[in-house]
Amino acid sequence: MGLRKKIKKFLYTRKFSKKNYLANINKKNILITGANSGIGLALTKKILQLDNKVLATYRQNSENLKIIKDKNLSIVKYDQREINESKDFKEKIKETSIDIIFNCAGVFGGSFEDQQIENLDFRKFQEVLMVNSISILKIMQIILDNKLPEKNLEVLVNISSDAGSIKLNNQGNAYIYRTSKTALNSITKNMSLDLNTRFKTVVFAIDPGNVQSGMNPEGKIKADVCVNLIIDLLSSNVQSLNGKFINLLGKEISW
């Protein structure tokens, strides 16, 4: 890595390393999607450390989850491309009420070249929309269908991306990814009105920044740094985040 890149990486990392960590998420039932890698895996580990129960979902491989030996962790396969309900996921949801959801599952949708208009594979496009955006509605449908109204969902966090911001787009690329995250943002805003009115659920979207993960191996900040900041955000005045699209420092991003 060249000196200029190293300095850039250092400054970027420092920006996200300064905040205090004051977690008070404790004894909650927490659903984490896309939990076998990256941000979802780091969140799973951190949230278990804070003495919560985690229901972690994975697409295909669960090897990173299986080696976590913790009685408070249950795992279930849920391929979010599926428009039909996952029986296993539905069964798991029936067993518990969920207090908090971290919706981390996501895919980029192919290379930048694959996402040029000339090369778009529309079947793939549909799948990415299902995984990155629409499946959170399916998950909520399953949870609401579960009829455990004695305890409402408290918080829903959608891990989005600034690539979904229409205002910030100054590049004209990545049609699949950008569309899917813009759709997720729209769903987030809508849910923040709907679910907050009906159940007082706080719903917001986060851009996690440039994080080292399966999707982004060259990312500039480590997933555990990102996750500490996300937990920090939930541990302060979470009510004030309803309906917002924010970065890891809680600063609002244009939709």
- Note the residues at the interface with ligand NAP (CB under 6 A): 34, 36-40, 58-61, 78-81, 104-107, 131, 159, 161, 208, 210-211, 213-216, 219
Residue number, 81 or 152, with CB nearest to ligand NAP: 81
What is the spatial order of strands in the sheet that 100-103 belongs to? 73-77, 53-58, 29-33, 100-103, 155-159, 202-206, 245-246
Q: Locate the DSSP E strands across 70-191.
A: 73-77, 100-103, 155-159
CB 227 within 8 A of CB 43: yes
Q: How far is the CB of 144 from ligand NAP (least distance, A)?
A: 20
Residue number, 8 or 20, with CB nearest to ligand NAP: 8
**99, amino acid identity:** D
Residue number, 53 or 138, with CB nearest to ligand NAP: 138
Residue number, 39 or 253, with CB nearest to ligand NAP: 39
Q: How far is the CB of 41 from ligand NAP (least distance, A)?
A: 7
Closest CA to 191 of 227, 138, 235, 231: 138
Q: Which residues have CB under 8 Å from 237's CB, separation 6+? A: none
**Alpha-carbon span 173 to 209, nearest angstrom:** 18
Q: Locate the DSSP E strands across 15-90.
A: 29-33, 53-58, 73-77
Residue number, 159 or 191, with CB nearest to ligand NAP: 159
Q: How far is the CB of 53 from ligand NAP (least distance, A)?
A: 20
Tokens 């500490």 found at: 228
Q: How far is the CB of 14 from ligand NAP (least distance, A)?
A: 17
Q: How far is the CB of 154 from ligand NAP (least distance, A)?
A: 21
